[in-house]
C-alpha cells in the first residue's frame, strides 16, 4: 500500500511541474495530501499565500469556500478543487438573503464575516476574518455593534474578548465537527490523560473553551505545541491537524479530544481525484465578477489589517 501511495504521489508531483501548478492544502486534509502539498496551513495562511504564488494553476485541497477564496484573490489564475463535492456545511448556513436581512435589521452594525462562507454571502461583509484574527478584526471596526457570521461559538469567543456588542448571524450557526467535541468527552479524555494540556479551536462549544489551557486557530495551536515546554497535548479540533503536529513537533504525544472530530468533506480529497484534477484541469472554480469584486474588497480589507 505504501508503494502504491508513493507512486501516485510521484505521479502527482510530476504533473504539478508539467502544469506549472502549486498545491495548497488545509491542515485538515488527509496525511497523504498534506505530505505532497507545497503549502499547508489554516485559512488565513492559505489566503495570504494564495496571493503570492507565481504558478498559473492553483490546486486547492480543501472545501469549497477555500477554493472560492483563492479564485477571488487570483481572478486571472486557474483554480482547481479536486473534490468538487467537498462543501462546508457551515458555509451553507449563511445564504445571502439571511445576511441581507440582518443588515437591514441592524443598520448601524458593521459585518465581520468568517471566511468559512461562500462568495455570494461575502458580498454583504464589511470585512472577512478567520479564527486567527477575529478579535483583532472586530477591535479594528468603527462600530460598537458587530454582526458576526456564521459561527455562534466563534462569536462567543470574540464576545468574551471585546466590549463591543456581538450579534451572531444566524443565532445557532456552528461547525458540526467542532460541535461534536462535547464537554463530557473532553472531561473523560482529561481524566485519562491528567498531565496533558488542552488546546482547542474557538469553534468548539463555549463549555469546552472555558476549560481549555489554550484556545486558537489551527496555526496558533501548532505554534502552541511547538513552543510550549510540555510533551503531552489534548487536541480539540479536527483530527487531521495532529498529522502536521507530529511532523513539526515530533517527540510529543497528541491525543484527540474527541475521535468523532472528523470532517468528512475535508477527507473527500484523495490522491486519485487530485491526480485527475491536474491531468484534466477539471473542477475549475468560477465566480461571476460582480460577486467576486465585492467579496475581494472584504477579503483584502482583512489582509491589509496587519
Residue with cell 466563534: 154
Query: Which one of 115, 145, 174 terminates a domain?
Result: 174
22 SS3 class:
strand
Q: Are residues 169 and 135 in the same domain?
A: yes
Cα separation, 113 vs 115, whole angstroms: 6
DSSP secondary structure string for all residues of 161-191: T-SSEEEESSTT---HHHHTS-HHHHHHHHH
pLDDT of residue 44: 75
pLDDT at 306: 66
pTM for this predicted structure: 0.93
82 and 42 together in one domain: yes
Query: Could you give the number of structural domains in the chain?
Result: 3
User: Where would I find the beta strands (DSSP E) of 27-71?
Assistant: 39-41, 57-61
Burial 12-27 (b: 16+ CB within 10 A, else e): beebbeebebbbbbbb
Question: Is residue 160 domain-shared with residue 219, that is, in the same domain?
Answer: no
Q: Say what the pLDDT of residue 158 is.
A: 98
In a domain, 112, yes or no: yes
Q: Does residue 306 form part of some domain?
A: no
Distances in whole angstroms, Cα of residue 15 to Cα of each of 22, 49, 82, 201: 10, 21, 14, 35
3-class DSSP assignment, residue 116: coil
Whether residues 216 and 281 share a domain: the answer is no
Q: Looking at the domain assignment, is residue 303 inside a domain?
A: no
Q: Could you tell me the CATH number of the domain that includes residue 13?
A: 3.40.50.10800
Query: For residue 271, what is its C-alpha cell?
Result: 490522491
pLDDT per 10-residue tile (average), the chain, 306 residues: 88 96 97 97 84 92 96 94 97 96 97 97 97 96 98 98 98 96 96 98 98 96 97 97 97 96 97 97 96 96 87
pLDDT at 178: 98
Report angle CA 75, 81, 83 to the nearest 5 degrees: 160
pLDDT at 3: 86
Give the structural domain span for 270.
Answer: 2-87+266-286
Q: DSSP code of 284? A: B
Residue with cell 448571524: 169
The residue out of 139, 157, 174 marking a domain boundary is 174
pLDDT at 42: 87
Instruction: Give yes or no: residues 28 and 46 share one domain.
Output: yes
* Integer Cα distance of 49 and 70 in angstroms: 9
Amino acid at each position: 500500500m505504501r508503494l502504491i501511495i508513493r507512486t501516485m504521489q510521484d505521479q502527482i508531483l510530476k504533473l504539478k511541474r508539467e502544469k506549472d501548478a502549486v498545491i495548497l492544502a488545509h491542515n485538515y486534509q488527509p496525511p497523504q495530501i498534506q505530505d505532497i502539498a507545497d503549502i499547508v496551513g489554516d485559512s488565513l495562511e492559505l489566503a495570504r499565500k494564495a496571493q503570492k504564488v507565481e504558478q498559473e494553476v492553483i490546486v486547492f485541497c480543501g472545501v469549497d469556500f477555500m477554493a472560492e477564496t483563492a479564485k477571488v484573490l487570483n481572478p486571472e489564475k486557474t483554480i482547481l478543487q479536486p473534490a468538487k463535492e467537498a462543501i462546508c456545511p457551515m458555509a451553507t448556513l449563511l445564504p445571502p438573503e439571511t445576511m441581507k436581512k440582518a443588515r437591514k435589521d441592524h443598520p448601524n452594525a458593521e459585518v465581520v464575516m468568517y471566511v468559512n462562507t461562500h462568495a455570494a454571502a461575502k458580498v454583504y461583509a464589511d470585512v472577512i476574518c478567520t479564527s486567527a484574527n477575529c478579535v483583532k478584526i472586530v477591535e479594528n471596526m468603527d462600530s460598537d455593534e458587530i454582526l458576526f457570521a456564521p459561527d455562534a461559538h466563534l462569536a462567543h469567543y470574540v464576545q468574551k474578548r471585546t466590549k463591543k456588542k456581538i450579534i451572531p448571524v444566524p443565532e445557532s450557526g456552528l461547525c458540526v465537527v467542532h460541535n461534536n467535541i462535547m464537554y463530557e468527552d473532553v472531561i473523560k479524555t482529561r481524566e485519562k490523560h491528567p498531565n496533558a494540556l488542552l488546546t482547542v479551536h474557538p469553534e468548539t462549544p463555549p463549555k469546552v473553551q472555558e476549560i481549555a489551557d489554550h484556545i486558537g486557530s489551527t496555526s496558533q495551536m501548532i505554534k502552541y505545541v511547538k513552543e510550549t515546554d510540555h510533551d503531552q497535548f489534548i487536541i480539540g479540533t479536527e483530527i487531521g491537524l495532529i498529522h502536521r503536529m507530529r511532523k513539526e513537533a515530533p517527540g510529543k504525544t497528541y491525543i484527540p479530544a474527541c475521535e468523532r472530530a472528523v470532517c468528512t468533506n475535508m477527507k473527500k480529497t484523495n490522491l486519485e481525484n487530485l491526480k485527475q484534477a491536474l491531468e484534466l484541469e477539471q473542477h475549475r472554480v468560477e465566480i461571476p465578477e460582480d460577486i467576486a469584486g465585492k467579496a475581494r474588497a472584504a477579503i483584502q480589507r482583512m489582509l491589509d489589517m496587519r
